[in-house]
Structures are given as C-alpha cells and as structure tokens.
Amino acid sequence: MSSIKKAPESNYSSSRPNAVEGCPLTAALAAIGGKWKMIIVYFLAESPKHFAALRKAIGISQKVLTQQLNELVSDGIVYRDAKGDVPAPVVYSLTEYGKSVLPLVEEVRVWGRTHMERVG
C-alpha cells in the first residue's frame, strides 16, 4: 500500500462551459459573475493583497475565497504569487487582462449606489 497521497481534485476547471453557446454575456458572467468575483477584483484593484488581508477586507469564508480566487486565476484575471517555501504567504494581484474588467466593475458599483438610493 502506497503512503503517497494524491492531491484532491479541484472543484473548478480551467474552462467552464458557456451556459449559452456563443453568448458573450454568459461567457462574461462565467468569468466574473456571482456574489464575490467582482468584489474580489474591486479590492485587488487598490493593490496586491495577501490572502488573509483579502479575506478580512471582504468578510468571506476561507473556502469560498479560495474557490473564487482559483477560478479567477484559472481565467487569467488574477495572478497568484507564492512568496517562499510551503506554506508560503501568497499575494494576489490583477493581471493586465484582469485590469480590463475594472471599467465594468466601476460601472456596476456606480449603478449599485444609484439602486441603493432608489430602493431605500
């Protein structure tokens, strides 16, 4: 019996299927949609952040933040930089491609503020 343990398989794939084939909107939502991804991108736009600082700033569970960051890294939006030996502190930052999402994030933030004022 081997004492070598296999790494657990991830819950994401590097190429999530587009829910509506050929639709750019569903492709965008697969990459940056959901509850947390735009918020993560928003906080990383300020500056690169360690995992713990990002988690504290957002108020998100470790499991969900790990999953969301892995998907953003897989999609080339976020860069993961492990600094040193395991367990290494990890710093996350936006890639150049990730920075291209910032105008959209800002528009959604502005719309959200207007919506909050409208609905009370």
Q: In CATH, what number is assigned to the domain containing residue 76?
A: 1.10.10.10
Kindly report the pTM of this predicted structure.
0.81
Q: Is residue 10 part of a domain?
A: no
Residue 91 domain-assigned (yes or no): yes
pLDDT surpassing 60 at residue 46: yes
The total domain count for the chain is 1
Interval 47-94: pLDDT, tens: 999 999 999 999 999 999 999 999 999 999 999 998 877 777 899 999
CB 32 within 8 A of CB 68: no
Tokens of 23: 């639709």
Which residue range(s) make up the domain with 62? 24-119
- 6 found inside a domain: no
CA distances from 18 to 32, 42, 43, 96, 111 (A): 13, 24, 26, 23, 26
For residue 85, what pLDDT is reported?
A: 79
For residue 85, being part of any structural domain is answered with yes
